């Protein structure tokens, strides 16, 4: 609704001349209970896919999306072909094909319930007949089940929609419209609101299935593959041979055995890039009711074409058969020729000739924005409608965790005689490195002795291992009595008592109770200017501290709490800088008083003179998660003049826009390019022996993801302080220090952006 409002305001359109089309998202057209069921099913499906991958690897079958689907069908069918009744051997797996029970050329359904795995020769022979038509006609050159045996086999082994499809005598009509659940609340609510703009007759709905079909037919899927190709091409750099060449191809262009041009990208999915939403919106906007109607009537179209072109195709229809039966009784080769002629005349023409060219230009110039995560907000009490707005009380809304759940206490360290931070943890989650930090020396020795009897910490201190541990612990003074069972242990929070703690007191009056602060609230980019020039310095304000300052501000009736938070932090930064200058001056002065070498004394004096107490600290900008920055190529670059009216300038900017993802305790901001929706992460083709070797290498520790997968950001996992690209990957993969480049962090030079609902960009 905000987008519709923004379009209306900017473009001043006439509602009487418009139609609004709404795509019913697959999960939105279901109730809350159905969406929950789908979500749980997706989780189960992922686990199933992982198990199938293992089975394919064991059978030495190439792991591809198609083979995963084939194996799932193979298992669902109990390893039996539904058409021949023959057992299907794993050794012949590559000879089996996926068949659409109701052919795609006659019915718009590409779901799992419309697919079976069958012998390749039967799939070719069945062609574009339904399973029921193929079995009923009993004119196969191969061995297939009789009608009676087929019906029994299907009823004994298949259930639900797949059972119905396999026994379906007549193809249903209007499948797309039947899927629309227009009575569900979300659809009704959307249509009612949009009807206020253009009238109810001009709000039309479509489905994701229609969008998928037209996107591919209009060439927009291939376009999007080409726009995202460079990301996948870069993945080859993670796996090079001794000569520096990629071991495998991620992007392939080739000519198949039939002379067709093929274009494949390993592991490609539109969901790696947010811009797929824009493509879908474009397709939905250009979808016409006639497109949907034609997809609803694929089977009728086939019948009409056969009837109207009967003479052209030289079809002879006998007295006891209809036009479809006459077509299916033709020889396979002739039937295929006719089908090709019909398919060639069934076009879904592009809405306009240069659709792909225009879409490409706008997609390349697009900057994707996501609403920033502001973890603090204000709400006004509205209990009394008669209370004037100025008198309403402001309340702070906190939208994230202030601190982690674990509480920390203080315990006297007998070795140092000082209080140290401690925490209590479950014995089942102990790691080998934690054992040395256990406070109770006797318990520490018992745990260390017990864990050496097992292959892993998990095995030693969960289930049977934990039971054995507690049953073997006898008291020294009473050898016949067991010690109380241990399920939790107290350990030191840090390895050194003088280590700078990240803990914060939970309550001012309780010095012993502390917590680890939770989320960060703001990342500050500050400019320090003195006689030596300008430099950027960075700092972070935790949500814990920010909430405390904000509450005090609201108590003092100051609604500009964010400015209060920033001002407080700037004061602390200035104080810290002055303290660092004093320490540096004292340290250099001490060296100067002891130095006898004239040249070195002169160097020290220069350094002392460079220290400037009269510095100025200015806030450049703050960052929160999802906010955007632009990384200029040159420090004096001005790209913002007339930006929103120049598509080429917008394209140049879009190539260097990054989204803030997280800020770590080292005061470093991590980013991803604005259009990245997911990080590319693909499992390495490792054998079981290689995986076992890795596990030995890491012992009790979990094998890092970077060793199991090719991950786009390498050891950084899902985001990085540096611009991702060829130089970034080479820096992480090369062992030659001379070949490494000095990469500049994005935060060192970036400019914060401001962007509205329609993508209009300016400096923040």
Q: How confident is the model at residue 28 (pLDDT cuts 50, 70, 90)?
A: very low
The confidence score (pLDDT) of residue 408 equals: 65
> What's the 3-state SS for 729-754?
HHHHHCCCHHHCCCCCCHHHCCEEEE
How high is the mean pLDDT of the chain?
84
In this predicted structure, what is the pLDDT of residue 338? Answer: 85
Residue 447 has pLDDT above 80, yes or no: yes
Quickly count: other Cβ atoms within 10 Å of residue 519's Cβ.
19
Cβ(117)–Cβ(99) under 8 Å? Answer: yes
Q: Give the lowest-confidence range in 337-351, 553-567, 651-665, 678-692.
A: 337-351
- What is the Cα–Cα distance from 199 to 625, expressed in whole angstroms? 39
Residues 450 and 460: beta-carbon distance below 8 Å = yes
> Is 180's pLDDT higher than 50?
no
Residue 621 near residue 764 (C-beta atoms within 8 A): yes
Q: To which H or E segment does residue 727 belong?
A: helix 726-733
| pLDDT surpassing 60 at residue 173 | yes
- Tally Cβ neighbours within 10 Å of residue 713: 21
Residue 250 to residue 231: CA distance in whole angstroms: 10
pTM for this one? Answer: 0.72
Q: How far is it, in rounded angstroms, from Cα 434 to Cα 440?
A: 13
**Residue 694 confidence (pLDDT):** 87
pLDDT at 606 over 50: yes
Instruction: Show contacts of 263-269: CB within 8 Å, 24+ apart.
Output: 263/222, 263/225, 265/225, 265/228, 265/229, 265/232, 266/232, 266/235, 266/682, 267/232, 267/680, 267/682, 268/225, 268/228, 268/232
Distance between alpha carbon 745 and the CA centroid of its chain, in Å?
24
**Which band of pLDDT confidence, cut at 50, 70 and 90, is reported for residue 384?**
low
Q: Which of 235-239, 254-258, 357-361, 742-746 has the highest mean pLDDT?
A: 357-361
Using one digit for the tens of pLDDT, what is the confidence trace for 199-254? 988 998 887 778 888 898 899 999 999 999 999 999 999 988 888 889 889 999 88
């Amino acid at each position: 609704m905000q987008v519709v409002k923004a379009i209306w305001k900017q473009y001043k359109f006439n509602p009487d001349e418009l139609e609004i089309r709404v795509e019913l998202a697959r999960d939105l057209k279901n109730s809350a209970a159905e969406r929950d069921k789908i979500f749980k099913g997706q989780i189960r499906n992922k686990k199933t896919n992982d198990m199938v991958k293992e089975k394919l690897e064991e059978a030495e079958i190439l792991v591809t999306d198609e083979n995963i689907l084939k194996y799932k069908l193979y298992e669902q069918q109990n390893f039996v072909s539904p058409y021949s009744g023959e057992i299907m051997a794993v050794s012949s797996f590559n000879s089996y094909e996926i068949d659409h029970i109701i052919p795609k050329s006659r019915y718009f359904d590409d779901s799992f319930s419309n697919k079976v795995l069958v012998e390749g020769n039967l799939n070719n022979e069945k062609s574009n007949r339904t399973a029921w038509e193929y079995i009923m006609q009993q004119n196969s050159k191969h061995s297939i089940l009789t009608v009676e045996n087929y019906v029994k086999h299907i009823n004994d082994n298949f259930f639900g929609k797949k059972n119905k499809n396999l026994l379906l005598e007549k193809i249903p009509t209007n499948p797309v419209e039947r899927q629309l659940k227009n009575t569900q609340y979300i659809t009704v609510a959307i249509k009612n609101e949009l009807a206020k703009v253009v009238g109810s007759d001009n709000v039309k709905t479509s489905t994701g299935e229609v969008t998928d079909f037209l996107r591919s037919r209009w060439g927009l899927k291939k376009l999007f593959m080409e726009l995202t190709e460079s990301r996948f091409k870069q993945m080859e750099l993670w796996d090079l041979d001794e000569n520096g060449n990629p071991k495998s191809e991620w992007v392939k262009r080739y000519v198949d055995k039939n002379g067709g041009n093929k274009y494949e990208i390993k592991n490609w999915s539109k969901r790696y890039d947010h811009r797929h939403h824009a493509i879908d919106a474009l397709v939905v906007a250009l979808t016409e009711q006639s497109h949907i109607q034609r997809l609803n009537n694929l089977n009728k179209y086939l019948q009409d074409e056969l009837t109207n072109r009967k003479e052209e195709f030289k079809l002879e229809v006998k007295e006891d058969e209809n036009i479809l039966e006459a077509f299916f009784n033709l020889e396979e080769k002739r039937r295929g020729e006719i089908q090709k002629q019909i398919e060639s005349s069934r076009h879904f023409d592009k809405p306009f000739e240069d659709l792909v060219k225009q879409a490409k230009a706008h997609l390349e110039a697009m900057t994707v924005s996501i609403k920033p995560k502001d973890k603090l907000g204000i709400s006004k009490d509205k209990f009394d409608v008669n209370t004037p707005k100025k008198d309403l009380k402001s309340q702070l809304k906190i939208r994230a965790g202030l601190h982690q759940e674990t509480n920390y206490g203080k315990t006297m360290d007998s070795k140092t005689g000082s209080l140290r931070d401690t925490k209590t943890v479950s014995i089942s989650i102990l790691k080998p490195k934690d054992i040395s930090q256990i406070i109770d020396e006797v318990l520490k020795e018992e745990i260390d002795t017990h864990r050496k009897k097992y292959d892993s910490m998990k095995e030693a201190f969960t289930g049977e291992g934990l039971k054995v541990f507690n049953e073997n612990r006898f008291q020294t003074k009473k050898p016949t009595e067991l010690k109380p069972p241990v399920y939790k242990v107290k350990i030191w929070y840090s390895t050194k008592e003088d280590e700078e703690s990240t803990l914060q007191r939970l309550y001012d009056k309780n010095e012993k109770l502390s917590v680890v602060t939770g989320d960060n609230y703001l990342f500050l980019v500050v400019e320090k200017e003195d006689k030596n020039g300008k430099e950027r310095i960075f700092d972070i304000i935790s949500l814990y501290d920010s909430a405390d300052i904000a509450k005090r501000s609201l108590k003092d009736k100051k609604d500009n709490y964010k400015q209060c938070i920033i001002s407080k932090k700037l004061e602390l930064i200035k104080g810290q800088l002055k303290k660092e200058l004093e320490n540096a001056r004292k340290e250099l002065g001490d060296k100067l008083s002891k130095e006898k070498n004239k040249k070195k004394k002169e160097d020290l004096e220069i350094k002392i003179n460079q220290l400037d107490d009269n510095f100025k600290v200015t806030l450049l900008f703050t960052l929160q998660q999802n906010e955007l920055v632009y990384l200029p190529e040159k420090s004096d670059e001005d790209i913002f003049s007339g930006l929103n009216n120049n598509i080429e300038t917008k394209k140049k900017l879009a190539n260097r826009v990054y989204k803030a993802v997280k800020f770590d305790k080292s005061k470093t901001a991590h980013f991803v390019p604005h259009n990245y929706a997911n990080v590319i992460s693909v499992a390495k083709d490792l054998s079981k022996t290689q995986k076992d070797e890795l596990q030995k290498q890491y012992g009790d520790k979990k094998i890092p993801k970077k060793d199991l997968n090719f991950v786009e950001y390498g050891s950084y996992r899902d985001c990085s302080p540096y611009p991702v690209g060829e130089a970034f990957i080479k820096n992480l993969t090369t062992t030659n220090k001379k070949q490494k480049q000095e990469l500049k962090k994005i935060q060192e030079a970036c400019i914060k952006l401001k962007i509205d609902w329609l993508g209009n960009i300016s400096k923040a």
